[in-house]
Amino acid sequence: MKIAVFAGDGIGPEVTAEAVRVLEALDLPGLELTEGDVGGAAYKKHGHPLPEATLDIARQSDAILFGAVGDFDCDHLERHLRPEQAILGLRKAMGFFANLRPAKVFAGLEDASALRPEVASAIDLLIVRELNGDVYFGEKGIRKLDDGRRQGWDMMSYAEDEVRRIAHVGFKAAQSRAKAGESGKLCSVDKANVLETSQLWRDVMIEVSAEYPDVELSHMYVDNAAMQLVRNPGQFDTIVTGNLFGDILSDQASMCVGSIGLLASASLAEGTCGLYEPIHGSAPDIAGKDLANPMATILSAAMLLRHSLGMEAQAARIEAAVGKALTDGIRGGDLGGSMGTRAIGDAILERL
């Protein structure tokens, strides 16, 4: 079991270290961890945010545990050298096209949500975000118009096969989340009232739905979805959406849950290799101060065991330990508490 560990920038190394401690505590036979440089840290050392050596480690691994990338020192660099290119490049090079971002309120945390507790407690949803296409990977640039004005432009597009493969992931996820005897629920989020890209997205979703008669497909415009996530998040089960809308809605969902320090994610390709990372960023303002909540990264390690290594029982063990820590009142600064990164890691290890 070869696991690549790419800690990255800011709080990345601190939160990743705690997730590694948890993985090591499980005493898994044959576990082999290999570290690699990504992001601003890699740029400073090797002149590139995603060095070839790091890509090689990724290609030879069964799964990747990823911290975070982003560094203000690098803001002046050309876009292809910025830290974010490490995660975008890995997603593309490794074919990680399906991003799973579950959001669920942990027992005892209903008060931490930005929403009223009775609204927040109903949240149990999964955002399935497409990761390899959309305006993220379209042609882009800043050009001079004839009259001398500068114009920024980014091309948004989805080919039908790109939509079809994420549709299947969405429908299958909805199927597997359905309670026995009930149909699955999949809400496709788009902006088909304005965008042609979204019209094609919607057409393909409807086409693919014929293969999943046990899943109820609905459609929602992204602006309405953002509103409904705050008004009544309990109405959602599985959401499938494009790269940009999924990026925005998943940050929003995290605050509905209570903290962005709690949300894990999996990025999957066609095979079993996957990349696992907290959905939060590198938070340079609190980096190196033992202030970050490592729970999202630890929960990402649980997803790694589940999706890439087929170790459901061990994954559930980690999730139970985090859940127990939270019900016992273990809180970092993000949740109004004062416990540091290492102490939260200790508390979870103890419960494990």
45 is annotated as an active-site residue? no
In this complex, which beta carbon is closest to ligand IPM, that of residue 87 or of residue 325?
A: 87
Residue 219 — left, alpha, or beta (φ > 0 → left; ψ -120 to 50 → alpha)? beta
Q: Which of 43, 191, 212, 276 is catalytic?
A: 191
- Closest CB to ligand IPM: residue number: 84
Q: Identify whether 324 is a catalytic site residue.
A: no
Question: Exactly one of 7, 63, 88, 330 binds ligand IPM (CB under 6 A); which one?
Answer: 88
Q: What is the nearest approach in angstroms of ligand IPM to the Cβ of residue 111?
A: 26
73 is catalytic: no
Q: Is 111 a catalytic residue?
A: no
CB contact burial 145-163 (16+ within 10 A = b; e otherwise): eeeeeeeeeeebebeeebb
Nearer to ligand IPM, 68 or 205 (CB): 68
With CB under 5 to 8 Å by kind, the binding choice for 19 among Mg ion, ligand IPM, none is none
Residue range at the interface with ligand IPM (CB under 6 A); choices 80-88, 165-173, 179-187, 322-330? 80-88
Of 73, 214, 223, 328, catalytic = 223
- Residue 312 amino acid letter: E
- The phi, psi pair for 321, rounded to 5°, reads -65, -40
Cβ at position 181, least distance to Mg ion in Å: 36
In the window 211-250, what residues touch ligand IPM (CB under 6 A)? 247
Q: Which residues pair with 263 in a beta bridge?
A: none
**Position among 63, 192, 266, 279 found at the interface with ligand IPM (CB under 6 A):** 279
In what helix (H) or strand (E) does residue 59 lie, and over which residues does it extend?
Answer: helix 52-59
Q: Which does 84 bind (CB under 5 to 8 A by kind): Mg ion, ligand IPM, none?
A: ligand IPM
Q: Which tokens in the block code for residue 147? A: 């009259």
Among 110, 247, 277, 319, binds Mg ion (CB under 5 A): 247
Q: Give the whole-angstrom CA distance, residue 21 versus residue 154.
A: 41
Active-site choice (43, 136, 158, 212): 136
> Phi and psi (nearest 5°) for 51?
-65, 155
Min dist. Cβ of residue 235 to Mg ion (A): 23
Q: How far is CA 274 from the centre of its chain?
A: 12
User: Shortest gap between Cβ of 104 and Mg ion (angstroms)?
Assistant: 18
Pick from 84, 124, 216, 290 the residue near ligand IPM by CB under 6 A.
84
DSSP-assigned letters across all residues of 48-97: SSS-HHHHHHHHT-SEEEEEE---GGGTTS-GGGSTHHHHHHHHHHTT--
Per DSSP (E only), the strands in the chain are 2-8, 32-35, 63-68, 98-104, 124-130, 140-144, 150-154, 184-190, 215-221, 238-241, 264-268, 274-278
CB 341 within 8 A of CB 290: yes
251 given a catalytic annotation: yes
Q: Which residues bind ligand IPM (CB under 6 A)?
A: 84, 87-88, 247, 279
Q: Which residues bind Mg ion (CB under 5 A)?
A: 247
Give catalytic residues, as residue numbers.
136, 191, 223, 247, 251
